Amino acid sequence: MPKEKKEKEESIVAMGKKLPRATNQGVLIIGGKRIPCAVLDDGRRVLRERSIAKALQKKGGGAHWERKRNLEDGALLPEYVSAKSIEQFIDYDVKNTLLNPITYITKKGNQVNSIEATLLPEICNIWLKARENGALSVTQEKTAKEAEILIRGLAHIGIIALVDEATGYQDVRMKKALEEILNKYLLAEAKKYQVTYPLELYKEWFKLNNWEWKPENAQKRPSVLGTWTNKYIYERMAPNLLTRLENKNPKTEKGYRKFKHFQFLTDEIGEPRLREFFGGLLALARATTTWRKYTALVEKAYPAIGDQMTMDLEDEKDE
């Protein structure tokens, strides 16, 4: 092992934590902007933090990044969302996530900060909301314009698919057998019920259909929401997933299912993938004005996988 790389490895061990590593790396090109990306060994798709700032023309100065590095708790928002004028438009969960960037090891052994790829649409929408509310200065309007370019590019294909294509990870993923994929998504038995679906997504669906959202909607929802949940989430999460869920969770004689489909999703793979869809679908809903336009964006961003998937089942060759 080269001396420089060995020293980096030792510094990581000295920090008392094991950092994730990039298994696949590449560069996203969205609207002419280049954003380095990676797939980590724990399956997360990430984007380089500083490259996002550059894409939004909000590249932080040396003082900002030095201050960020020196903060023990890391509680400093990235430069591209640190302006006071947009603070009120940052969702609480998004803010907490951005305050805790993902540090990983590149294939060259360097440590870099990143964010999960699914946050990019959320970041763009922060700037678009601020612009809609007249909260931006003339200079900040330029950042909002860059955010609009990015969000339009993302509307054509999902961010996860973009990262997988740029890194070549889709070739690795496609070599995994369908049964193996589903086993990672599904449990043998239903787990204890926990509220999983964020009401914000359903509220946006109501708004796009010009329906009034009432408190009782949180408990008693129109049956069409179940149809849309199957169509726009489960049919797109993994091949044959919806069919397998329906087999595991059949309807009773009274026409109801004993469990919620998500009670069969694994904590490690199934639920994170479900949350990923929530984030993507919510971002698209907030970026459009009608249900027709929204479903068109969803079809482009998250194409239905269908029940069958042609896969190369040969073992991967060691490189």
Q: Are residues 139 and 205 in the same domain?
A: no
Around Cβ 18, how many Cβ atoms within 10 Å? 9
Provide mean pLDDT across the span 250-275.
83
Q: Which residue has the higher pLDDT, 105 or 312?
A: 105
Instruction: Tell me what pLDDT residue 71 has.
Output: 53
Please give the Cα distance from 68 to 242 (Å, whole number): 44
State the pLDDT at residue 48: 93
Report the percentage of the chain scoring pLDDT > 70.
74
19 and 149 share one domain:
yes
In a domain, 61, yes or no: yes
Q: Where is average pLDDT lowest: 45-59, 130-144, 252-266?
A: 252-266
Give the C-alpha distances (Å, rounded to integers) separating 236 from 72, 127, 232: 40, 28, 6
pLDDT computed for residue 10 by the predictor:
41
Residue 159 pLDDT: 75
Instruction: Determine the distance from the C-alpha atom of residue 305 to the mean position of all C-alpha atoms in its chain, rounded to a whole number.
Output: 18
Structural domain contains residue 194: yes
Residue 188 or 141, more confident:
141
Model confidence pLDDT, tens digit, residues 32-65? 889 999 999 998 999 998 899 889 987 655 555 5
Flag whether pLDDT at 120 surpasses 50: yes
150 burial type by CB count under 10 A (0-12 exposed, 13-18 middle, 19+ buried): buried
Q: To which residue do tokens 């043998």 refer?
A: 188
60 falls within a domain: yes
Q: Residue 30 falls within a domain, yes or no? A: yes
Count of the separate structural domains present in the chain: 2
User: 111 with 153, same domain?
Assistant: yes
Instruction: Dump pLDDT digits (tens) for 179-233.
Output: 566 666 666 666 665 555 567 888 899 999 998 887 666 556 677 888 898 899 8
Global pTM? 0.48
Verify that 159 and 241 share a domain, yes or no.
no
Q: What is the predicted pLDDT for the residue at 62?
A: 52
Residues 42 and 18 in one domain: yes
Could you tell me which residue, 94 or 58, shows the higher pLDDT? 94
Q: Which domain holds residue 56?
A: 11-170
Q: How many CB atoms lie within 10 A of CB 184?
A: 15
CA 219 to chain centre: 27
